[in-house]
Chains A and B, each alone.
Chain A
């Protein structure tokens, strides 16, 4: 019996108070493709970072070909031949493909980079990946994202890979590019390289992988041979015995829809998205990261421009070109990335709440009415149970959940006709999550039409009156309340057509 290429035993990792990985075991055999699957937040990325040397584990042991392995940096991992291709290509746009492949480990002859020697090796790698030889001298910035991804793989292979980690390699590739990728992966495994494959597209696993390790809530729950699994089975393992709880079914009006998206499209992100939201209704848009859900929310708020389809508000077509247009129409957005898009970090809570409403909170629209600003801020702090000693506290000093409530409060000062939330509870703790959901429901009860774009499955199921699945940038299926996690996840992961086992 051959030694395992890579063996992880009882790995755990904490970030502050959050346990990203509770317990992980993993054994990767030489010359195999080993998939790691799990929901968003199950701990896959952290595990990958530990293997790549970018993070160090708190507990546990690792072994490489039978000998103990200690990694303190990515350089250590590279020394073992552990190469990682991240989702975002780590390339230099102005350098040529050839230079990118060899950056940091150039072949040098007589004080100069040995271009001819590098070129020979680059041509071999390009041929292996099915890229034309002339690409060697092209600047990477002139290539498409998919081609850049292939360059990243070439870069990893140039370093004599023994373990190749592919983190969501197919997320940005077209079907024919995926075929090329699979061809490369097969050739690599034939020559003895072990590939660790992360993907949300579960149907792919059955075409390329040999073994599957499933992660759930920071634990590896087991490893199976692919032949013993079906997509359905994988989804059930990923979701596991998680509580299939549903909130009290809310009665919703059958009024005319307030917000309608008709075959809405934004080139490169999503197309043919059709959704309608009635007053008082909460409609969920669930999709895996990269499926285009966040971008849909941004188009409705005027941050991105639609390239096709229509948005109707109260039956009339609208075309918000700027967030200000959307605000005037009574549309509010809770952005996905609150640090970059929602917070004025060093400013107090009161400023963060009042900043979008200065005409309303000023005297004769000229100078600020500080007393009203304070009153509004205090009212919001109380209504949303924001935990803070005073409204003068800077928002940067607050926890994720409380900061998110402040950003939400800003959208609620003037009660919006339509509230769009993108990833409303990303990075907030369970208690705050519960409260934010309560606030969203209370708003809907007052008649606001709510659209929630999320990649958190349990949130999508819990909050939505109706739930649309977004897959590859299109709304595919609609679920009524009471849908099971397994059904929804299977639909989002691309197992629509499969007959349930």
Chain B
């Protein structure tokens, strides 16, 4: 019987001191950055360098500041979507929800002249309510997530258009400039929306990695029946992931309105669900559930926006960016499939 001398055995030895306990923790947890995430870091850095050389304008602050602003809403919604997809679900209604929250915020600003905090809270609460609708139907109605959210996506779009009433909302005041693209929206050159998104992402990353409920999301995605038998509150946690996503969509709507012009048109949110899901999948979260991380999603969102921005600045046709994103998704899904096949061969 081989016993590892360096590890404390069942003998009543005194508890190891704090520093060595954290050392143990580092060794007993899987590595914090997965292989796919290192690959993404490398690609993002490489693209950044290549694009900076190819088009000197790309490296300038006036180029990467709007880039980070545009990453913020995608990555923020991606944080919620990552949690949903880890549990084996999906939410294709985030685009519709973004429209409802966005147009409501714009109307509140124009008609009521509300302040920034009120606008943020209103958008977040509205998003939360929409997320709860999805979550209740999926967790307790037990219908497949893609069907339900496809239905609510259409419903949300209808509601959004009703609130618009006309084609556009005009004369949006500068109340949200703190999250906007201008000088007021930056500290030390970094857009506030991006910084806030990073803070949320770091919190979610820690929660998913170290909190009991966070770990349970992975168990639910792995095998929901076994998860229930293990005493995990599958329905409550499922509801929670959709509610959290809705709340984040509400804040993403504030970012979207803030970074736009004084006119909001009906294209807000359109197709955003696909950009978010693309970021999550490229980030290495398995679409079949049970595996993934928020870090990958943020990197995925960065990659997608760098490609879009790079294609524009190189003067290439903009549809090429769709092509590159498509290839990236195919590679990410392919890598996941190969991993799963390799396991089944055992």
A residues contacting B by CB (< 8 A) are 74-75, 90-96, 98-99, 103-106, 108, 111-113, 115-116, 119-120, 123-124, 127, 130, 132-133, 136-137, 139, 141-145
Contacts and interface: CB of A to CB of B under 8 A. Distances in A.
A119 B8 CA distance: 10
B219 A92 contact: yes
A133 B27 CA distance: 12
Interface stretch (B188-196, B210-218, B324-332): B210-218
Interface in B193-233: 210-212, 215-216, 218-219, 221-223, 226-227, 229-232
B28 interface: yes
Contacts of B211: 111-113
Contacts, number: 93
A104 B21 CA distance: 23
A127 B3 contact: yes
Contact of B30 (A127, A133, A137, A143): A137
B1 interface: yes
A75 B230 CA distance: 8
Given A90-B226, A139-B30, A113 B215 contact: yes
Contacts of B25: 115-116
A500 to B, nearest CB: 41
A74 B226 CA distance: 12
- The 3 A-B pairs of least Cβ separation, nearest first, read A104-B230, A92-B222, A104-B231
B142 interface: no
A122 B223 CA distance: 22
B229 A133 contact: no
B112 interface: no
B28 A106 contact: no
Contacts of A123: 4, 7
Main secondary structure of the interface of B (DSSP, over half): loop
B181 interface: no
A106 B24 contact: no
B215 A95 contact: yes
A94 B28 contact: no
A95 B218 contact: yes
A116 B346 contact: no
7 contacts: A90-B230, A103-B216, A103-B230, A104-B230, A115-B28, A115-B29, A132-B2
**Of listed A93, A108, A111, A133, residue having the most chain B CB within 10 A:** A93
B210 A119 contact: no
B176 to A, nearest CB: 33
A94 B9 CA distance: 27
B335 to A, nearest CB: 15
B212 A142 contact: no
Interface in B1-54: 1-4, 7-10, 16, 21, 24-25, 27-30
Contacts of B227: 92, 103-104
Contacts of A132: 2
A99 B210 CA distance: 11
Given A92-B218, A124-B10, A119 B4 contact: no
Contacts of B226: 90-92
A116 B215 contact: no
**Of listed A90, A91, A92, A95, residue having the most chain B CB within 10 A:** A92
A330 B27 CA distance: 60
Contacts of A141: 343
B291 interface: yes
A132 B3 CA distance: 9
Given A92-B218, A111-B211, A74 B290 contact: no
B17 to A, nearest CB: 12
B210 A113 contact: yes
A277 B313 CA distance: 72
Contacts of A92: 218-219, 222-223, 226-227, 290
**Of listed A74, A95, A130, A132, residue having the most chain B CB within 10 A:** A95
Interface string B69-98: 000000000000000000000000000000
